[in-house]
Amino acid sequence: MKATTHSLRCTGCGQRISGRETASNFRCRACGELFEVEYAWSETAAGDASTKKPNPGALKYLWAERRTSTLAEDQSGVWRFRDLLPIVSDDQIVTLREGNTPLYEMPRSAAALGMNWLLAKHQGMNPTGSFKDAGMTAALSVAVANGYRWVACASTGNTSAAMAAYAARAGLKSLVLIPEGKIAWGKLSQAMDYGSTTVQLKTDFDGCVKVLAEIVERAPIYLLNSVNPYRLEGQKTPAFEILEQMDWRVPDHLIVPGGNLANCSALGKGFLEMKHLGFIPRVPKISVIQAEGANPLYRWMQQGAHGTFEPVTAETRATAIRIGNPASWKKAVRILAATGGWVEQVTEREIALAKAEIGAEGIGCEPASAVTLAGLKKLVTDGRVGHEETAVLLLTGHTLKDSDYTIQYHKGELLRPDEMAGASAAELAEHAALRREPVVMEANADAILRVLDAVPQPA
Ligand code: F0G
């Protein structure tokens, strides 16, 4: 496998460059847009790509076979698919055995929605607890291949945790810029634990991105934000896993949280490649869910998907997606159009309820991931997702990432009275049935048994 087996194609003007010709901010020097990785067999490739297409039957066999191997690059759920992401040679791979995450059934949520089959692909079950690991193993390996000593990212927390871990594995130094006071403690602690230089800036995520752009221009530091197209090569592989785990049946819908809007496009790229190569006959509709307080794409769609894309000042307790000026919004729009999905927004109250429901399935996730279930409810209610259809929720982060949120919710301290004011009686009953406030009492068996009697029975 050689680094020369791919090129980078500008998603704006179509210009192609080699991987070593990128600007420090990964934007096209001609038109300012972002790149995507292209292979000889890609749909966009120049010339007759059909002759170079890999064989789906042979690859399916090989990928399954690698699961029994003891080689690190075979045990990784990203590099197991390296035939479709030949961006580095095998000896340059930096892996923590990411990927191979579970696809869970969600029977209670499905029943509540009147759906036959609802699944959750839990990317929070990755080594650092989020979907970022799949992308970080890919881009960090490229950083090593290109000889960088320093890597950096601006982050709402998960990217920094993943980058810090992979940089440590590779022996590289890493710089993290995060908005002060606006990331969950679990994530901050990870960056420190893995030895990153962690800088909290008195600005928001969008402000951190701006400062970092200047830093990587002035110093030889490799940028690992999701504008880096190699991140998306890793993040496309959960699409392959979902198909494998469903025995190559295609779900009707994939529901993804939207922040900087790169992950939805990465997964879209994965599914579209599967279709192009003949693994599957169609792709799922990919829908993106934003928090109401961080909803620039939703707003743009509401205004007819034309005109200026207006950034917003983002505010949501789902801090992972507290992003007002998403870098990859155009890529996301292309994936929505190519797959036929939608953008929805959900309120803080809806996110909190959905998160508690996912917890009650015995799975759990961080707040930003719960927007998927909250958004799916809206898509089912107005018929965009049918009761007979299959949907997969993409859960992006582990519940332990933001345990403060969970504890506040269950103590009834998360949502303000004005936020609860609009809730219907049915919704209040749902919250009441899910909330489990910790009880402080004397060490007395009789008293504890009386508490058990009061616990609501599951439906
Ligand atoms: N869910 C979680 C848990 C995230 O951490 C993020 C993004 C998203 C969803 C949104 O994905 O940006 O590709 O649309 N977190 C980034 C970070 C921005 O810095 O960790 P996206």
Calculate how far, in angstroms, residue 302's C-alpha sits from the geometric centre of ligand 1.
23
Q: Measured from the CB, is residue 157 less than 6 Å from ligand 1?
A: yes
pLDDT at 408: 97
Q: Measured from the CB, is residue 190 less than 6 Å from ligand 1?
A: no
For helices 348-360 and 403-410, what crossing angle results, to 10°?
Answer: 100
Calculate how far, in angstroms, residue 438's C-alpha sits from the geometric centre of ligand 1.
30
Calculate how far, in angstroms, residue 369's C-alpha sits from the geometric centre of ligand 1.
9
* DSSP assigned state of 52: G
- What is the rounded distance in angstroms from the CA atom of residue 150 to the CA atom of residue 242? 34
Find the mean pLDDT for residues 230-255: 98
pLDDT at 455: 82
- For atom 19 of ligand 1, which residue has the closest CA? 155
Instruction: Read off the pLDDT band of 438 (50, 70, 90).
Output: confident
| Whether the Cβ atoms of residue 159 and residue 138 lie closer than 8 Å to each other | no
Q: Measured from the CB, is residue 130 less than 6 Å from ligand 1?
A: yes
Q: Where are the alpha helices (DSSP H) in 257-390?
A: 263-276, 296-302, 329-339, 348-360, 367-381
Calculate how far, in angstroms, residue 296's C-alpha sits from the geometric centre of ligand 1.
15
- For atom 6 of ligand 1, which residue has the closest CA? 320
| Whether the Cβ atoms of residue 113 and residue 385 lie closer than 8 Å to each other | no
Return the closest-CA partner of residue 37 out of 265, 261, 285: 265
Calculate how far, in angstroms, residue 413's C-alpha sits from the geometric centre of ligand 1.
25
* DSSP assigned state of 68: T
Positions of E strands within 109-180: 117-122, 150-154, 173-179
Distances in Å between the alpha carbon of 263 and those of 150, 162, 268, 286, 291?
24, 15, 8, 11, 16
Calculate how far, in angstroms, residue 230's C-alpha sits from the geometric centre of ligand 1.
16
Q: What is the pLDDT of residues 373-428, one digit of tens each?
A: 999 999 999 999 999 999 999 999 999 999 999 999 999 999 999 999 989 999 99
Q: Measured from the CB, is residue 77 less than 6 Å from ligand 1?
A: no
Calculate how far, in angstroms, residue 286's C-alpha sits from the geometric centre of ligand 1.
16
Q: 42-51, 191-200, 225-234: lowest mean pLDDT where?
A: 42-51
- For atom 12 of ligand 1, which residue has the closest CA? 260
Q: Measured from the CB, is residue 261 less than 6 Å from ligand 1?
A: yes
Q: Which residues 6+ apart lie within 8 Å of 147 measured at CB?
A: none
Q: What is the pLDDT of residues 252-273, one digit of tens each?
A: 999 999 999 999 999 999 999 9
Q: Measured from the CB, is residue 100 less than 6 Å from ligand 1?
A: no
Q: In what order do the strands lie in the sheet with 16-17?
A: 16-17, 6-10, 35-39
| Whether the Cβ atoms of residue 373 and residue 341 lie closer than 8 Å to each other | no
Tokens representing 422 are 């609009």
Instruction: Read off the pLDDT band of 68 (50, 70, 90).
Output: very high
Tokens representing 117 are 């089959």
DSSP 181-230: T-S-HHHHHHHHHTT-EEEEESS-HHHHHHHHHHHHHHS-EEE-STTSHH
Calculate how far, in angstroms, residue 130's C-alpha sits from the geometric centre of ligand 1.
9
- What is the rounded distance in angstroms from the CA atom of residue 350 to the CA atom of residue 354? 6
Q: Measured from the CB, is residue 206 less than 6 Å from ligand 1?
A: no
Calculate how far, in angstroms, residue 60's C-alpha sits from the geometric centre of ligand 1.
30
Task: Ligand 1 pocket test: pick from 126, 156, 298 the residue with the most ligand atoms within 8 Å of its Cβ.
Answer: 156
Whether pLDDT at 22 is above 70: yes
Return the closest-CA partner of residue 292 out of 351, 245, 238, 233: 351
Which atom of ligand 1 approaches the CA of 235 most closely? 13
- CA torsion sign for 411, 413, 419, 420 is positive
Instruction: Read off the pLDDT band of 240 (50, 70, 90).
Output: very high
Query: Facing residues of 321 across strands?
Result: none
Task: Ligand 1 pocket test: pick from 205, 212, 396 the residue with the most ligand atoms within 8 Å of its Cβ.
Answer: 396
**Residue with the two structure tokens 């034309």:** 306
- What is the rounded distance in angstroms from the CA atom of residue 151 to the CA atom of residue 160? 10
Q: What is the pLDDT of residues 91-119, one digit of tens each?
A: 999 999 999 999 999 999 999 999 999 99
| Whether the Cβ atoms of residue 168 and residue 190 lie closer than 8 Å to each other | no
Q: What is the pLDDT of residues 325-377, one digit of tens each?
A: 999 999 999 999 999 999 999 999 999 999 999 999 999 999 999 999 999 99
